[in-house]
A and B are shown apart, each in its own frame.
Chain A
Amino acid sequence: MFLIIGGSNSLTNRLYAKLRARGHRSCFWPSDSFPLESWVALETGPPPKGRFWLPGIGQQSLSLQEIEGVYWWFYEGPALLKAPPVEGETPEQAARRQRQELDACLLTAYHLMDCPWINPPGSVLNHRYKVEQLTEATALGFTIPDSLMSNDPQAIAAFYQDCQGEVVVKSVATTGVPSRLTQAQLSQWQKNGESKPATRLFQRFIPGTDVRVHVVGQRLFASEVLSDHWVSKVDLKDPQPVSIPDALAQQCLTLCEKLNLVLAGIDFRKTSDGEYVFLEANPSPQYPAYEDRNHYPISDAIVEALIRGVGAKHR
């Protein structure tokens, strides 16, 4: 039995169908079914043992040993109960504490599942630490854009000058559409001393095209993404299959090993002189558009990796 952490959607249904076609059972486990519609009873080991009762498999329970592998798609977080505040707590503090308790329990349950994961929870959640990831990438020899994480208007203004006004603003922790830093924003921060900028990751804009490399185990699927916009995330038009240099391919595999990822969508900017500049490695990539348009067998490779048990273990 394979578990898919997250709900049913076009991406996870694709994996579910492919596993089923190859004679393997799988089951969705949306985290928000916990704790009211799914139950765990896990005991520490060695080895750990225990059972799950999950929506979608009726009244039957599933033993820890029956789980052959897990695909982490999406963590919605647990459903909240109405827990009474303890002494001195506000309702908001009580809700936050309860969320922490439920998160910790679910994540503990995941960590006691000592089977191959694509990808392990710790590795997925580490994606919040982009600065750490960029530091790791630099240590492995990738070129990264000049980067600053800051909430200091003066430091941001100096960085803007250093980059000749070509600066991209990104979330520190999440994958979203970046924006461009403008002189108007800088002026506003400088004019209004009381209003500091929110902490963000600022990077020198790299002219070029976007290249996305999907890594599944030892397999790589590279696409160049053409776009009318300065960032292809806004209009993912026509990903084209491309080949990448062997040295870069090897660096991608080494980075995944370092980050304990079996599956990753690694984003690069390719400059006009052929240099690849590393932007980020996403542990839960949205790959169907690349699979469909480039006829890349990415979900087959994921299913193959799950069946062969080449997922990563917790570190």
Chain B
Amino acid sequence: MILIIGHRDEHTQRVEAHLETLGQRVIYWNTQSFPAEASLSLHLGDFSQSCLELHQERLFLSDIEGVYWYHYHGVRPGSRTTDPEADVSLLNLFRSWQTNWVNPPASVMRHRLKIYQLQQVAQLGIRTPHTLVSNDIGSLQSFCEQMGGTIISKNYTGIGIPQKLTSASLASNLQADSSQRSMMPAIFQEYIQGLDIRIHAIGDALFATELHTQDWTFVLDRQVELRATSVPDDLAEQCQRIIQRLGLVFSGLDFRRTQTGEYVFIEANPSPQFGAYEAACHYPISEHVAKRLCGKHPNYPTGPSRPGTEGHTA
């Protein structure tokens, strides 16, 4: 039995189909059913007795071979008054549950500190964008100048669309109230011109896709064209080091490839939405995720035809 934390959609259905082929029963859990319509009983030291009650069915944790952390919706809104620790209790359960996780809860939760993640990758010697964390308007203006007058702004929660800022637009926005020093902090990064590359890494396998868009970022473009591409050996090695450092078994790694062919790491998403990539490039991403959840590790060829690079050119 495999538990999918999240909802059924085009991505999870792909994984579900492979799991069924592998003879697994699939249970979805939108955690917002907790605590009103779901119960948990975790016996420390006696895992065989520990169980969840979901959809009026008792499920023993020891019968669940793997858990796919797809989307954690949190607990039922408004439950704070009746069960103030519902949310942290679920996270306690997940973090202490030894099973085949895609991805391990602690690694998914660390993604909240995206810039610390970026720093960890930079410490591996991998090129990352110059990045500023600040709530100080003067420092932001100086950073923008240093970066050549154009920067990108993103927020920490990932809600909203990245913005391209220029020295001129900053000056005009800030002119309204020059007495203020504080601003709502955000992530500010150098703008890197180039082509977006998404690499889905699952275990040893890598599936790379170019995102061709007319806009400055694919996020703004609904007509983005996906093309399969190969992964140079040194980039493949970098991808493996990144996911190992971040404790992930499955990730959507975003890079920008500059005109000089340099790859700049942007971020590692622990719950990537991969359906469109799989469909466009005929990549077996969901099959690999399914096998990983069952504890199966496919045998990959070694040597020059490294995993994930063979047969993936357009």
Q: Point out residues on A near B: beta carbons under 8 Å.
A: 34-36, 39-46, 48, 50-51, 53, 81, 83, 86, 97-98, 100-102, 104-105, 107-109, 111-112, 128-132, 134-135, 138, 144, 146-152, 155, 171-173, 195-196, 198-200, 314
Contact = CB atoms under 8 A, between A and B. Distances in A.
Interface stretch (B40-48, B234-242, B306-314): B40-48
Contacts of B44: 131, 134-135, 138, 144, 146-149
Of all A-B residue pairs in the complex, the 3 with the closest CB atoms, nearest first, are A41-B139, A104-B156, A155-B41
A112 B119 contact: yes
A314 B113 CA distance: 13
B133 A112 contact: yes
18 contacts: A35-B135, A35-B185, A39-B134, A39-B136, A41-B136, A45-B119, A46-B123, A81-B184, A101-B184, A109-B133, A111-B113, A128-B91, A129-B91, A131-B93, A131-B96, A148-B41, A199-B35, A199-B86
Nearest to B47: A135
Nearest to B83: A198
Which of A35, A53, A195, A199 has the most chain B CB atoms closer than 10 A to its own CB? A199
B300 interface: no
Nearest to A102: B185
**Interface of B, helix, strand, loop or mixed by DSSP:** mixed
Given A144-B45, A151-B83, A40 B40 contact: no
A44 B184 CA distance: 19
B152 to A, nearest CB: 14
A112 B96 contact: no
**Interface of A, helix, strand, loop or mixed by DSSP:** mixed
Which of A81, A97, A101, A107 has the most chain B CB atoms closer than 10 A to its own CB? A101
B136 A172 contact: no
B181 A39 contact: yes
Contacts of A53: 136
Contacts of B114: 104, 108
A151 B39 contact: yes
Interface in B42-59: 42-45, 51, 53
Nearest to B125: A46
B76 to A, nearest CB: 12
Contacts of A173: 85, 88-89, 92
A196 B134 contact: no
A200 B91 CA distance: 13
Contact of A44 (B39, B112, B115): B115
Contacts of B95: 129, 131-132
Interface in B115-158: 115-116, 118-119, 122-123, 128, 130-136, 139-140, 143, 155-157
Chain B's interface size range is: 35 or more
Contacts of A146: 44-45
A98 B185 CA distance: 10
A33 B79 CA distance: 30
Contacts of B119: 44-46, 48, 111-112
B155 A101 contact: yes
Given A148-B41, A149-B42, A108 B133 contact: yes
B308 to A, nearest CB: 28
Nearest to B135: A35
B232 interface: no
B35 A196 contact: yes
Given A101-B156, A131-B92, A150 B115 contact: no
Nearest to A135: B96
Contact of B113 (A107, A134, A199): A107
Given A138-B45, A151-B39, A172 B133 contact: no
A79 to B, nearest CB: 10
B41 A152 contact: yes
A106 to B, nearest CB: 8
Nearest to B156: A104
A189 B233 CA distance: 61
Contacts of A107: 112-113, 116
A132 B119 CA distance: 27
Given A44-B118, A150-B40, A132 B96 contact: yes
A245 to B, nearest CB: 22
Contact of A128 (B42, B88, B93, B156): B88
Contact of A199 (B40, B122, B136, B181): B40
Given A104-B113, A134-B44, A150-B39, A43 B132 contact: yes
A37 to B, nearest CB: 8
B213 to A, nearest CB: 24
A199 B83 contact: yes
A198 B36 CA distance: 10
Contacts of B136: 39-41, 53
Contacts of A81: 182, 184
B145 to A, nearest CB: 13
Nearest to A198: B83
A46 B130 CA distance: 10
Contacts of A195: 82
Given A36-B182, A100-B156, A104-B156, A152 B53 contact: yes
B149 to A, nearest CB: 17
Interface in B139-179: 139-140, 143, 155-157, 159-160
A44 B130 contact: yes
A43 B122 CA distance: 12
Nearest to B119: A44
B84 interface: yes
B43 A147 contact: yes
A11 to B, nearest CB: 26
A101 B45 CA distance: 37
